[in-house]
Amino acid sequence: MILEVDDNDAIREIVQTVLASEGYTVAGAESGEQAIAEIERRLEAGEPLPRLMLLDLTMPGMSGYQTMERLRQLPGAGKVAVIFISALPESAERDNALAAGGVDYLTKPFQIPRLLEVVRRHLPCAVE
């Protein structure tokens, strides 16, 4: 399962639609707070955690970096691979994102083939 976290409804919907059409199970969250609440709910219910999180860096409230920090504090959530997504230039932000624990960085606006390439690199099999 992939958790797509973005405050932009249109981007979240496009990403979810594209990934679902490729066979991935996708859930969405519109904020870092909502993403952490979903992870906590899954932990309490004994449900599987997302294997991959697509996490926007710049959101109102909890930023992507703050969300990542909270995620890593939750027991068992350290195995969730995080791909940061941002409109910030890759040259300026990629190293920071990887140093924060991200496995990859995708710059907005992104092309659908690039999105799929990055997701497949970290979650190759759509059958979950």
d(CA 39, CA 34): 9
Here the tokens at position 44 are 């309490």
**63: how many CB neighbours lie within 10 A of its CB?**
16
Whole-structure pTM value:
0.91
In this predicted structure, the answer to whether residue 2 has a pLDDT above a threshold of 80 is yes
More confident residue, 80 or 126: 80
Give the Å distances, CA to CA, from 124 to 3, 24, 36, 48: 16, 10, 24, 18
**Radius of gyration (Cα) for the chain, nearest Å?**
13
The average confidence (pLDDT) of the chain is 92
52-98 pLDDT, tens digit per residue, is 999 999 999 999 999 999 999 999 888 899 999 998 777 778 889 99
In this predicted structure, the answer to whether residue 38 has a pLDDT above a threshold of 80 is yes
What class does CATH assign to 2-122? alpha beta
Here the tokens at position 16 are 């979810």
